[in-house]
Copies of this chain bind each other. A is one copy, B any other.
Amino acid sequence: MPGNILDVARLAGVSHTTVSRILRNADGFSYAPDTRQKVLAAARKLGYVPNSAARFMRLKKTRLIGLTTQTHNAYATYRLIEKISLRVRKLGYAPVLIDLSEPDLAAGGFLDVTHLAGAICMYAKHERELVGRCARIGRNLPMVTVRRKVTDNPGVRMVATDNAGGLAQAFRHLQGLGHRRIGYLGYREPDPSRQSTYAAMCRQAGMPRQVFAVPVCAENNPFLSGMQMARAVARGRRVSAVLCEDDEFAAGLIAGLGDLKLNVPGDISVVGFDDLPFAAAVRPRLTTVGVKMDEKADAAVRLLVALIEGNAVQQGLLPESIVLDAELIVRDSTAQPPPKERPTHAR
């Protein structure tokens, strides 16, 4: 509405072609400095902004990168969004958070996968289905998934944290402290890579397994969920340490255990996951598996852009997936088990 390219052309006394070329700095064309001035002045005067829909129609290309997610983990996700956005912009693309999970959005909406240069799918629930649909509609849209667990979507690159490795570190840390019965607190929909790592570690160590599954959501609030699980965790004192799926669970669990007069780490050790902003600000400070958010964002964006610009791909230079290592951060929520729990024979 606020003027199109023809208005600018008329005001500058040139053809709209000239305006288009001058405003875009199209190369391969030379224009008289005089003409250039007139065009620039006219555009400024009218407050001209190119119509991006028209542009897209012509070019069939955008520099929009869609970010999509579906998660309970507000903190981790929001931080990831921020970091990815920053990097995306730095490379000359524009990030858009959009829900690609609604099929009718693509059908009846005004912004769909066909508009995107690429997409980053973060912690999506029905990831496989989503990616499939986007690839189909979007004519094999370049996609990168950011996932805790490693999945195998053919043709879609992935960035993930080495959760198995992180979990193993945490497990060994607890084992080293003398724990012999270590539990796992996670969502009901299990995270395969972690649960299987947990199972493997238990087996290897000759320990019993004890998984506490949180019902999908207590008001969609992972803190409360964790808190409510305290009773189950404490029952019968079957474990002396718990590995949690994320820091929010861990924080809630610690609070809940406190209400039951159980001390962390005195009676039970707790390990979180993600190293969220509050991990060092709760008491006891959380021992947790740190996930490198910055590097994760960076890797995801670089992978996607390489995929979009497609030179490295053909040369076979682009890795199928990037797995960032996780790092155990030992703080105050883990300690030796209470005396009676300690192994009788040293190890």
Chain B residue nearest to A252 in the complex (CB): B281
In the assembled complex, A79 has its CB within 8 A of some CB on chain B: yes
- Chain B residues with CB under 8 Å of A49's CB are 106-107, 112, 114, 137
Cα A223 to Cα B75 in complex, Å, equals 12
Interface residues of A in 280-308 (CB under 8 A from B): 280-283
- Chain B residues with CB under 8 Å of A52's CB are 109-112, 114-115
Contacting chain B: which of A5-13, A27-35, A54-62?
A: A54-62
In the assembled complex, A236 has its CB within 8 A of some CB on chain B: no
Cα A283 to Cα B260 in complex, Å, equals 13
Instruction: Knowing A63-B109, A78-B77, A223-B278 are in contact, say whether A54-B57 is a contact too (CB < 8 A).
Output: yes
Tell whether, in the assembled complex, residue B63 and residue A110 are in contact, meaning their CB atoms are under 8 Å apart.
yes
In the assembled complex, A222 has its CB within 8 A of some CB on chain B: yes
Cα A281 to Cα B77 in complex, Å, equals 20
Tell whether, in the assembled complex, residue B221 and residue A277 are in contact, meaning their CB atoms are under 8 Å apart.
yes
Interface residues of A in 54-87 (CB under 8 A from B): 54-57, 60, 62-64, 67, 74-75, 77-79, 81, 85
In the assembled complex, A14 has its CB within 8 A of some CB on chain B: no
Q: How many residues on chain A are close to B (CB under 8 Å)?
A: 63
- Chain B residues with CB under 8 Å of A127's CB are none
Instruction: Knowing A111-B96, A136-B47 are in contact, say whether A277-B63 is a contact too (CB < 8 A).
Output: no
Interface residues of A in 106-125 (CB under 8 A from B): 106-107, 109-112, 114-115
In the assembled complex, A26 has its CB within 8 A of some CB on chain B: no
- Chain B residues with CB under 8 Å of A81's CB are 97
Most chain B CB within a 10 A radius of its CB, from A53, A55, A99, A223: A53
Tell whether, in the assembled complex, residue A227 and residue B75 are in contact, meaning their CB atoms are under 8 Å apart.
no
Cα A114 to Cα B99 in complex, Å, equals 20
Most chain B CB within a 10 A radius of its CB, from A57, A85, A281: A281
In the assembled complex, A196 has its CB within 8 A of some CB on chain B: no
In the assembled complex, A317 has its CB within 8 A of some CB on chain B: no
Chain B residue nearest to A86 in the complex (CB): B99
Tell whether, in the assembled complex, residue A55 and residue B112 are in contact, meaning their CB atoms are under 8 Å apart.
no
In the assembled complex, A342 has its CB within 8 A of some CB on chain B: no
Tell whether, in the assembled complex, residue A224 and residue B280 are in contact, meaning their CB atoms are under 8 Å apart.
yes
Cα A112 to Cα B2 in complex, Å, equals 13
Residues in A lying within 8 Å of B, measured CB to CB: 1-2, 47, 49-57, 60, 62-64, 67, 74-75, 77-79, 81, 85, 89, 94-99, 102, 105-107, 109-112, 114-115, 136-137, 139, 221-224, 226-227, 248, 251-252, 255-256, 258-259, 277-278, 280-283
- Not counting A49-B106, A62-B110, A63-B110, a sample of 15 additional A-B residue pairs whose C-beta atoms are within 8 angstroms of each other reads A1-B60, A49-B114, A52-B109, A53-B53, A64-B111, A78-B78, A81-B97, A94-B109, A94-B110, A95-B98, A96-B97, A96-B111, A248-B277, A256-B281, A258-B283
Top 10 closest A-B pairs, CB basis? Answer: A97-B97, A223-B281, A62-B110, A74-B78, A53-B53, A53-B56, A223-B278, A221-B277, A94-B109, A78-B78
